[in-house]
Amino acid sequence: MADIADPLKKMLMSKSFSTDRSRIRMFGKMDWTLEPSRGMAELIQIPGEKMTQEELFRFGYDNGKIIVDEIKGILLGTEKSITQKAINDLLEFIGMGQIDFIRSETSEDGHHHIVAHMINNPIIEHAKEMYGEISVICTFLRGLFSAHAEMVLGLKNVHLNELKCQCKNQAKDFCEWESKW
């Protein structure tokens, strides 16, 4: 497995994102758009309220797959994986908070038991402020990060379930997610 955390951090922070023909590009290839975090919360909540939990999770998962496939294709090709630290550095850079792994037991065949805290995510924080306990943001994000965990950490059948949610005041400033397979 190639460890690209240090060069990734340096490159991300300084050079890998550039503007090119009115576009924001990572490594000159992957397009990114700056979105207001509060606006993202609304974009997820309004249609999300009309979906079942499983539909919304799947929506987030499919969306996450698109992102990670793009990143992998650009950075390392398809046969290597990216470290947790590298992904956390990227998440921090793009303003998506951080994931702290409280528990991370994984094996080569993809079996795992992971417990993670999602912290400092502005989309979740705005969702809490706007929607409180009826926020469905975390369902979408759990799907998104489940896809990330599968592809980035080489796991299988990741389905992040919610143990604690800050929108429901079950934790002060983090959401706790778990997957076990």
Partner 1 sequence: MPVISSLLKKMIIARAFRTEDGRIKMFGAMDWTLYSSKALAHFFQVIGDKFGEDFLYDLSYKNGRLNAMEMTKAMKIKPKGGWTTQTAIVSLLDFLGYGKLKFVKIDVGEEGHHHLIVHTTENPISEHSIEMYGKKSHACTYWAGLLAGHGELELGVKNIKLKENTCIKDGAGYCEFESKW
> What is the DSSP secondary structure assignment for residue 121, as one 8-state letter?
-
Residue type at 176 in one-letter notation:
E
Joined tokens for residue 102: 């409280």
Counting residues that bind partner 1 (by CB under 8 A) gives 42
For partner 1, the closer CB: 81 or 120 = 120
> Is 85 one of the binding residues for partner 1 (CB under 8 A)?
no
The Cα–Cα gap between 134 and 131 comes to: 6
Dihedral sign, Cα of residue 73, residue 79, residue 83, residue 84: positive
- Would you give the binding string for partner 1 spanning residues 24-43, x where CB under 8 A is met? x-----xxxxxxxxxxx-xx
Q: Which of residues 138-167 bind partner 1 (CB under 8 A)?
A: none
Question: Which one among 57, 61, 97, 137 touches partner 1, defined by CB under 8 A?
Answer: 97
Residues sharing a CB contact under 8 Å with residue 28, sequence separation 6 or more, in sequence order: 18, 20
Task: Tell whether residue 11 is a contact of partner 1 (CB under 8 A).
Answer: no
Which residues in this chain contact partner 1 in the complex, by CB under 8 A?
Answer: 17, 19, 21-24, 30-40, 42-43, 46-47, 50-51, 59, 62-64, 66-67, 70, 92-98, 120, 122-123, 125-126
